[in-house]
């Protein structure tokens, strides 16, 4: 298990005790960010000590994310981080493709200037990491992008489903990023460029289809890289 994952998550709790909601989000992020990898066993007592709380809220947080299939709780063993089987990944992406088209087909949120600003900021970040695909930074940008898209989904139910599917796909996708070369960085830039255009046009439907397109590309890369061995490390 990774040594000091604490350092990697900027928002430190040093001052305030985190609630169940915070713990849940943080654990999910750590799984998506590959700070926890399949096979790792999340020990309640360990996390409890790290967060300065008792096992109870940690248990609660883990219990809430069990239904995503990312963590399987086994009595007497631990909370094992699971690798989603390829079949399930296929199902997740199949749904994500459809959900993306629904972003524009359902009651939309209003595109405001702030969203455009955030998009440009992400685009700049994406440019900065350029060929040097430090997966940590890439993942960060990707996560912010997902949050941005979420904010653009007016239908709260769709937003919930979108987020769930994102979490299910994220860890696998980020594993692909490690394997694939800088092409994923270029792809991210391309996606953000398309996104900026769509948002400048105030066209939510276009935003959805941009997502649909690039999720499709992403899944193609998963199939391309994840079936082969991923022997070259990022060191």
Partner DNA sequence: ATTACCGATGGTGCATGCAGCATGGCGAAA
Partner DNA sequence: TTTCGCCATGCTGCATGCACCATCGGTAAT
Binding region for DNA (CB under 7 A): 17, 19-20, 41-46, 48, 52-57, 59-60, 73-79
**Residue 106 touches its own copies, criterion: CB under 8 A:** yes
DSSP code at position 107: P
Q: Residue 40: which of 65, 70, 64 has the closest Cα?
A: 70
Q: By CB under 8 A, which span of 121-129, 142-150, 159-167, 203-211 interacts with its own copies?
A: 159-167
CB-based contact 165:92 (threshold 8 Å):
yes
- Positive or negative torsion for Cα 48, 53, 58, 59: positive
Nearer to DNA (CB atom), residue 25 or residue 223: 25
Smallest gap from Cβ 116 to its own copies, in A, equals 25
**Binders of its own copies in range 72-101 (CB under 8 A):** 88, 90-92, 94-95, 98
Nearer to DNA (CB atom), residue 34 or residue 47: 47
Give which of its own copies, DNA, none residue 227 binds (C-beta under 5 to 8 Å, depending on kind).
none
CB-based contact 31:71 (threshold 8 Å):
yes
- Positive or negative torsion for Cα 223, 80, 174, 134: negative
């Amino acid at each position: 298990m990774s040594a000091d994952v604490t350092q990697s998550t900027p928002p430190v709790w040093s001052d305030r005790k985190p609630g169940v909601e915070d713990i849940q989000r943080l654990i999910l992020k750590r799984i998506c960010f590959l700070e926890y990898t399949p096979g790792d066993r999340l020990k309640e007592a360990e996390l409890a000590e790290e967060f300065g709380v008792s096992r109870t809220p940690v248990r609660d947080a883990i219990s809430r994310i069990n239904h995503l299939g990312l963590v399987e709780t086994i009595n007497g063993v631990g909370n094992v981080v699971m690798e989603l089987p390829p079949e399930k990944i296929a199902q997740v992406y199949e749904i994500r493709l459809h959900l993306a088209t629904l972003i524009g087909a359902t009651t939309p949120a209003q595109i405001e200037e702030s969203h455009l600003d955030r998009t440009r900021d992400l685009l700049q970040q994406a440019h900065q990491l350029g060929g040097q695909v430090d997966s940590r930074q890439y993942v960060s940008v990707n996560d912010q992008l997902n949050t941005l898209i979420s904010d653009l989904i007016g239908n709260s139910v769709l937003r919930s489903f979108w987020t769930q599917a994102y979490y299910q796909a994220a860890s696998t996708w980020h594993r692909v990023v490690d394997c694939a070369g800088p092409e994923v960085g270029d792809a991210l830039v391309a996606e953000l460029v398309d996104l900026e255009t769509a948002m400048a046009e105030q066209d939510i439907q276009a935003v959805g289809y941009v997502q649909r397109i690039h999720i499709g590309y992403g899944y193609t890369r998963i199939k391309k890289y994840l079936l082969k061995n991923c022997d070259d490390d990022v060191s």
